[in-house]
Amino acid sequence: MNFSRLDQIHSLEENNKFELLVIGGGVVGSAILELAASQGINSLLIEKNDFSSGASSRSTKLLHGGIRYLPQLQFGLVRESLKEQKILEQVLGKLYKPLKLLAPVFKDNGFSDLPRILQSNFIAPIAFKIGLTLYDFLGQRKKDQRHTLISKEDTFRLFPKLKKNKLTKSFIFQDAQTEDAKLVLTLLRNAVEINNATALNYVKITDIIRTGDMYKVSLIDDINKKKYTVESKKIIAATGVHNLPGMYESKSSKIKLSGGAHLILEGDPLGIGKNGVLLPQTEDNRVMFVLPWTGNTIVGTTDTEEFSGSLDRPYANSKDKDYLIRHIKKYFNIDEVKYISSWTGLRALIDSSGTNSKNISRGHFYKNIDENFIQISGGKLTGFRVIAKESLEQLFSQNFELNKQEFVDSILNLESQFNYKDLQLCLNHYCVVKPTDYLLRRTRISWFNQNGGKSFLDKVMVHFDSTLYLEQTIEELKDEGLL
């Protein structure tokens, strides 16, 4: 079957008994579906909004090698993250993009990631140097991938717009980037079109009832309002910052929210070329990234307990944007920072009063909700394969390995301007239902064009029921802070 909505609805109508139900179509849920389906497990994924519309299209898009675990002396985790990068490079093809990151050293700024005791201007560079040497050693990096120390002059040759005063030298080290939303859609297309899974967006779970050794799950299609009932032996909920549905709501993992905002600047106004920059210290003692993203520049992220908008659609408010602009001006010679678009993501952190949880140090945690029903929360984009594998191995007594993903070029080649051929491909193979699915999560049209790509709406709407979607599309772009 194609990964089109029509085919997926047919699939649900033909088959209502599953071995596994996955709730949530972010990167974790989608990887769980792909891993399970590739092992022949009859699996269904249900997403209440669009696939990857949660944190998994709103991240900073880094596949970290775990350098931030070094200051906490968690060497095992660094080794694991670096090993993970190598696996992801093999299975994700061009969705894994090596990236060199510059860590500039300033006289008056230590590195916020270091413990306070090591943050002095004198000790911080030494500690960072030791950390990077260890990073290369633990990652068994080849010579051309190891970190380098460059002089102040070489830093300015490579990054001409960085502020000169107080910079002493810089480190350059290797990390990696991906395209979060496209990664999710690729995992899903592989699960559905190669491994026969079923995946549906815009379907709500209205209730889950355990009957004997099966779960009876009531669903409602948000688009045609049709109701369905399916049965599943096991359930994994990867619901991000959301509670569990139905009568299981009160059993949800206890989480705390953390928000992070980003800006997209047109082109390369900060002169970073193909490399990223780690800004070592923000005013609230965090680090910030400036990263290239297919011709434009991402600046982010903040880290706040408050956010604007809703859990489903948070947006970057003026306080977030001012904070990001202030820090760009602190580190770069630029008078006016003009941005094309902005976004905010919300992640789940463990609430320390939670019980029955493990793997807190890696940021993800499982909760046994019921026999054969677990919820997984937190974690990082970088850890999606491991998280998916571990959660399946808790419920099934077998090993799960992620295969090399197909269709990577197909999604990466989608253009950032309206293109009829691209839209057809997205409708037939990337399960586009609403115009914003195409604009925000299959292509980068809304991110790379002013006003959320509103100027393309006339052309886009011709291919959708405009009476149904025009107003909704405008509202959604407004909710995202793009209009």
Ligand X SMILES: Cc1cc2nc3c(=O)[nH]c(=O)nc-3n(C[C@H](O)[C@H](O)[C@H](O)COP(=O)(O)OP(=O)(O)OC[C@H]3O[C@@H](n4cnc5c(N)ncnc54)[C@H](O)[C@@H]3O)c2cc1C
Based on CB atoms, which residue is closest to ligand X, 167 or 199?
199
The verdict on 314 binding ligand X (CB under 6 A) reads: no
- Min. distance of Cβ 120 from ligand X in angstroms? 28
| Helix residue spans in 338-480 (DSSP H) | 384-395, 408-412, 420-429, 435-436, 445-448, 457-461, 466-479
Full DSSP string of 57-81 = GSS--B---SGGGGGGT-HHHHHHH
Q: Does 8 participate in binding ligand X (rule CB under 6 A)?
A: no
The nearer residue to ligand X, 262 or 429, going by C-beta atoms, is: 262
Give kind and range of the element (H or E) at residue 180: helix 180-189
Closest to 300 (Cα-Cα) out of 69, 27, 115, 62: 62
Which residue's CB is nearer to ligand X, number 244 or number 337? Answer: 244
Alpha-carbon separation of residue 361 from 240, 350, 457, 460 (angstroms): 17, 10, 45, 45
61 lies in the binding site for ligand X (CB under 6 A): yes
Position 23 contacts ligand X (CB under 6 A): yes
95 binds ligand X (CB under 6 A): no
Regarding 49 and contact with ligand X (CB under 6 A), the answer is yes
Which has the closest alpha carbon to 308: 297, 299, 300, 316?
316
Angle at CA of residue 306, ends 314 and 303, nearest 5°? 90
Residue 13 has which token pair? 């109508």
Whether residue 327 contacts residue 279, with contact meaning beta carbons closer than 8 Å, is answered with: yes
Q: How far is the CB of 115 from ligand X (least distance, A)?
A: 22
- Please confirm whether the linkage preceding 301 is cis (ω < 30° from 0): yes
Q: Which part of the chain contacts ligand X (CB under 6 A), choosing from 44-52, 83-91, 264-272, 328-336?
A: 44-52
Segment 341 to 400, residues that bind ligand X, using CB under 6 A:
345-347, 379-382
The minimum distance between CB 287 and ligand X, in angstroms, equals 12
DSSP string, 92-105: HGGGSEEEEEEEEE
Q: Which of residues 211-270 bind ligand X (CB under 6 A)?
A: 238-240, 242, 245, 260
Contacts of 57 (CB under 8 A, 6+ apart): 180, 181, 184, 440, 441
CB of 346 to ligand X, least distance (A): 5
* 5, 9, 26, 263: residue in contact with ligand X (rule CB under 6 A): 26
Work out how close the CB of 221 gets to ligand X at its nearest, in angstroms, rounded to a whole number.
12
Which of 35, 54, 82, 433 touches ligand X (CB under 6 A)?
54
DSSP 245: P
Please choose, out of 57-65, 149-157, 327-335, 437-445, the segment that lies near ligand X by the rule CB under 6 A: 57-65
Q: Which of 9, 12, 21, 27 binds ligand X (CB under 6 A)?
A: 27
Count of residues interacting with ligand X (CB under 6 A)? 36
Q: How far is the CB of 344 from ligand X (least distance, A)?
A: 7
Q: How far is the CB of 29 from ligand X (least distance, A)?
A: 5
Q: Which has the closest alpha carbon to 389: 409, 412, 359, 357?
A: 359
State the residue number with the nearest CB to ligand X.
Answer: 26
**Stretch binding ligand X (CB under 6 A), from 24-32, 92-100, 121-129, 446-454:** 24-32
Examine residue 104 and tell whether it contacts ligand X (CB under 6 A): no
Least separation in angstroms between residue 98's CB and ligand X is: 15
Q: Which is nearer to ligand X, 77 or 167 (CB)?
A: 77
Exposed / middle / buried, residue 256 (Cβ in 10 Å: 0-12, 13-18, 19+): middle
Residue 222: how many other CB atoms lie within 10 Å: 15
64 binds ligand X (CB under 6 A): yes
**Binding flags for ligand X, 436-455, as an x/- string (CB under 6 A):** --------------------
Q: Are 237 and 374 in contact (CB under 8 A)?
A: yes
| 437: three-class secondary structure by DSSP | helix
Q: Which residues are at the interface with ligand X (CB under 6 A)?
A: 23-29, 46-49, 53-56, 58-62, 64, 205, 238-240, 242, 245, 260, 301, 345-347, 379-382
